[in-house]
Amino acid sequence: MLILVKNIYKGEGAANNAQKVDFLSASSFSASVSIRRRTNPLPPNPLLRDFHPTGIMIKLFKVKEKQRELAENSNGKPPVKKQSAGELRLHKDISELNLPKTCSISFPNGKDDLMNFEVTIRPDDGYYIGGTFTFTFQISSIYPHEAPKVKCKTKVYHPNIDLDGNVCLNILREDWKPVLNINTIIYGLYHLFTEPNHEDPLNREAAAVLRDNPKMFESNVRRAMAGGYVGQTFFTRCI
């Protein structure tokens, strides 16, 4: 661009040359700036460097989700934990309990832990009348598609309950169906105390005594419930 300006300056008058040089110089400057802009573009704006429509949408979604959580917890209470299908079904079972006066239910871990609770049975008939027997219930998250795990906390002399608290009840094993519920299980446990069964035992020794000598079986039950030894096994008082 400078060469073009010099050639024009030599061929024209001084007065005109000054104007034309100024005009061409301005044009040259403009063209030069334009060329520099195309050759050396401005550095990228750091604010726009990470712009991506999808990323913006995800951030907006997270913001809205956070706002919703804050609105739900605006009363200052901790967030409410979402309940599993098992918890929802258990909640329904408990709300529909229809227990006899000899049975009660409690939640040692508080109302926030419905999946682990205890049932206490006080038989008013049969060999075990006057005793108090506590069972623990552990409910799976896939309940009722899996039967509850039930154990007897109270050490008891019983043909269908072993010394470790394992319970032999058909509806807790092969006969469990999702249509059954907690109410059904508690009635089944109660039935074990009113009519113990020697034909399907866990404690074979107690079952044999019940089958062969019911009077001795009754005596052993009373001794165990009062707190004492039956054979080599000590039982804690539960009357």
Task: Give the pLDDT confidence of 208-232 residue by residue, as tens digits.
Answer: 999 999 999 999 999 999 999 999 9
Residue 67 pLDDT greater than 90, yes or no: no
The band of 49, judged by pLDDT with boundaries at 50, 70 and 90, is low
Whether the CB-CB separation of 195 and 218 falls below 8 Å is answered with no
All residues at 6 or more sequence positions from 40 whose CB lies less than 8 Å from its CB, including other chains: none
Q: pLDDT at position 29, please?
A: 45
The band of 30, judged by pLDDT with boundaries at 50, 70 and 90, is very low
Q: pLDDT at position 11, please?
A: 45
76: left (phi over 0), alpha (psi -120 to 50) or beta: left
- For 69, what's the count of Cα atoms within 13 Å in the CB-facing half-sphere? 11
Whether the CB-CB separation of 204 and 168 falls below 8 Å is answered with no
Give the count of beta carbons closer than 10 Å to the beta carbon of residue 24.
Answer: 17
Residue 54 amino acid letter: T
Q: What is the CA radius of gyration of the chain?
A: 43
Residue 228 amino acid letter: G
Q: pLDDT at position 19, please?
A: 47
Class of domain 83-235: alpha beta
Domain ranges for the chain, please list them: 83-235
Q: pLDDT at position 27, please?
A: 46
Mean local confidence (pLDDT), 113-122 = 97
CA-nearest of 219, 124, 126, 203 to 168 is: 203
The band of 99, judged by pLDDT with boundaries at 50, 70 and 90, is very high
Prediction pTM value: 0.68
Tens-place pLDDT, residues 78-94: 655 678 899 999 999 99
The band of 98, judged by pLDDT with boundaries at 50, 70 and 90, is very high
What residues are annotated to the active site? 168
- For 38, what's the count of Cα atoms within 13 Å in the CB-facing half-sphere? 5
All residues at 6 or more sequence positions from 94 whose CB lies less than 8 Å from its CB, including other chains: 105, 114, 182
Tokens of 186: 């508690």
Give the count of beta carbons closer than 10 Å to the beta carbon of residue 126.
Answer: 15
The band of 126, judged by pLDDT with boundaries at 50, 70 and 90, is very high
Q: pLDDT at position 59, please?
A: 59
Tens-place pLDDT, residues 9-28: 444 444 444 444 444 444 44
Most confident of 62-71, 107-116, 210-219: 210-219
Q: Which helix (H) or strand (E) holds 191?
A: helix 182-194
Q: pLDDT at position 116, please?
A: 97
